[in-house]
């Protein structure tokens, strides 16, 4: 059986061997939830960029630039980090370049060694699980956390994915065992459990409660977000859609 393990913060990723594995990067509030929503709403591609300046420079190459630091849209950027901005196909056909506080850095730290990088969200949990079963490779779930620290929402997503995959994958890492148990104890009311999370509180201060609700929606979308070269694209179970 393939194995699944959980890396609870990008600061710990050097302790995991990513070679020949599929890495699922997760930043529930809000980067990876927003990327999945953009892809669902027909953007032509999303290019994650770790640095603000590098992302700003993408504008002259024809990209719409999305930039956020500490929950606020960065100066000179057209978009911030809200999934709601992409609804109703608002940026259909556009190439988006995006940089965020935690999520894009975590993608950057994953892509050098991994066989594949996927983008995880509650919004497409089951589709991602189905894809991982189909591929049959070892998996590392890479939680973006917050500025290097553990956070609840990304770790709970990791627990949810381990829970769905538990019959198909071996897992003996404590992160996977612990987060699976935590998710299973709280899956009946994820929202109230996560209202205690530091990140949810920080974002509430920015008046984006609707974003939080949206990011906790389960299985709204039925596709996988995958990094192909430098771009995130939509993948169905057998083909790019
Ligand atoms: O915009 C967000 O949701 C966060 C901002 S902060 O670090 O929590 O202040 O960025 P993200 O990269 O999506 O974690």
Per-residue pLDDT of 56-95, as tens digits, reads 999 999 999 999 999 899 999 999 999 999 999 999 999 9
215 lines ligand 1 (CB under 6 A): no
Whether 82 is in the pocket of ligand 1, judged by its Cβ within 6 Å, is: no
Q: What is the pLDDT of residue 209?
A: 84
List domains and CATH numbers for the chain: 4-235 (3.90.1560.10)
- Best residue among 25, 102, 123, 142 to mutate for probing ligand 1's pocket (most ligand atoms within 8 Å of CB) is 102
What the block records as the tokens of 112 is 């050098």
pTM of the model: 0.95
- As a whole number of angstroms, the distance between CA 37 and CA 58 comes to 21
Please give the ipTM for the structure prediction: 0.94
What average pLDDT score do residues 2-15 get? 98
Interval 164-198: pLDDT, tens: 999 999 999 999 999 999 999 999 999 899 888 88
Rounded to whole angstroms, the Cα distance separating 152 from 197 reads 6
Q: How far does the centroid of ligand 1 lie from the alpha carbon of residue 1, in Å?
A: 35
Radius of gyration of the chain (CA): 16
Provide the residue count of the chain: 241
Here the tokens at position 196 are: 């205690």
Any ligand 1 atom below 6 A from CB of 9: no
Mean pLDDT of the chain: 94
* CA distances (Å), origin 82, targets 187, 211, 237: 24, 6, 27
Burial class (CB in 10 A: 0-12, 13-18, 19+), 138: buried
């Amino acid at each position: 059986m393939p194995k699944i393990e959980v890396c609870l913060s990008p600061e710990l990723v050097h302790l995991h061997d990513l070679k020949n594995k599929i890495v699922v990067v997760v930043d529930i509030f809000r980067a990876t939830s927003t990327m999945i929503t953009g892809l669902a709403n027909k953007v032509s591609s999303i290019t994650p960029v770790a640095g603000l300046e590098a992302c700003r420079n993408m504008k002259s190459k024809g990209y719409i630039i999305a930039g956020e630091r500490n929950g606020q849209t960065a100066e000179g950027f057209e978009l911030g980090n809200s999934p709601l901005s992409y609804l109703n196909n608002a940026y259909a056909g556009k190439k988006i370049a995006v940089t965020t506080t935690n999520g894009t850095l975590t993608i950057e730290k994953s892509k050098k060694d991994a066989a594949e990088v996927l983008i995880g969200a509650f919004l497409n949990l089951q589709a991602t699980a189905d894809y991982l079963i189909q591929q049959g490779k070892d998996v590392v779930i890479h939680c973006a956390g917050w500025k290097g620290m553990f956070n609840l929402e990304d770790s709970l997503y990791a627990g949810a994915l381990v829970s769905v995959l538990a019959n198909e994958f071996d897992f003996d890492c404590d992160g996977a065992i612990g987060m699976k148990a935590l998710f299973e104890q709280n899956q009946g009311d994820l929202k109230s459990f996560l209202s205690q999370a530091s990140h949810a509180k920080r974002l509430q201060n920015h008046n984006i409660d609707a974003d939080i609700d949206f990011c906790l929606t389960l299985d709204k979308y039925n596709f996988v977000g995958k990094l192909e070269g430098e771009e995130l694209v939509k993948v169905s179970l057998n083909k790019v859609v």
